Structure 1
Amino acid sequence: MSIDDESSPIKAWLARHPRFELHFTPTGSSWINQIERWFGYLAHQMIRRGAHKNIQALEADIRAWVKEWNKDPKPFIWTKTAEEILDSLARLCRRISGAGH
């Protein structure tokens, strides 16, 4: 049985819970990639640049940074096409092939 099957328990559950919506995305464009980028930005902008006396000070600074970020959040937008990503991957594969890895 698959989700495409009209008698699927998943489809039945979704029909009973209309506020939930499934979004199928390719693995490479997963939301987790966007979350990782956001944490990278946090680390670069605040954690690496800061000096924290203890864990409590670090946590307070992170919370303050997130509060400030949320005043004017900027979405991360994919800027490359699938073809550009695949071309870049192909160049990398050519560069590292036979490199003794």
Structure 2
Amino acid sequence: MTNRKLRRSTHRSVAALEADVTAWIEAWNADPKPFVWTKTADDILETIAAYCQRINDSAH
């Protein structure tokens, strides 16, 4: 809920934004979730290589 509030709310001041960011950090740190890789390093490197090939071969 805190993440949703942070993304979708409007802040009328820098102090309000800072307060929401601080609240989000505290909520995240209270119940952290580790990042889990879903692809192997080889899969990621292949995707990057394909992207580089596409942008280098463009006719621009």
**CA RMSD, 1 decimal:** 1.9
Question: 1:73-88, aligned counterparts within 5 Å?
Answer: 73-88=32-47
Gaps of 5+ in 2: none
Offset of residue 80 of structure 1: 1.6
Identity of matched residues, %:
50
**Is 2:14 the partner of 1:63?**
no
Gaps of 5+ in 1: 1-43
- Taking structure 2 as the reference length, the TM-score comes to 0.70
- SS at 1:52 equivalent: coil
> How many residues are paired up?
56
What do the CA deviations read for 1:27-52 (whole angstroms, capped 9, x no partner)?
A: xxxxxxxxxxxxxxxxx742x31111
C-alpha distance in 2, partners of 1:97/1:53? 44
Report which of the two structures shows the higher radius of gyration computed on alpha carbons: 1
- SS at 2:35 equivalent: coil
Structure 1 runs (4+) deviating above 2 angstroms are none
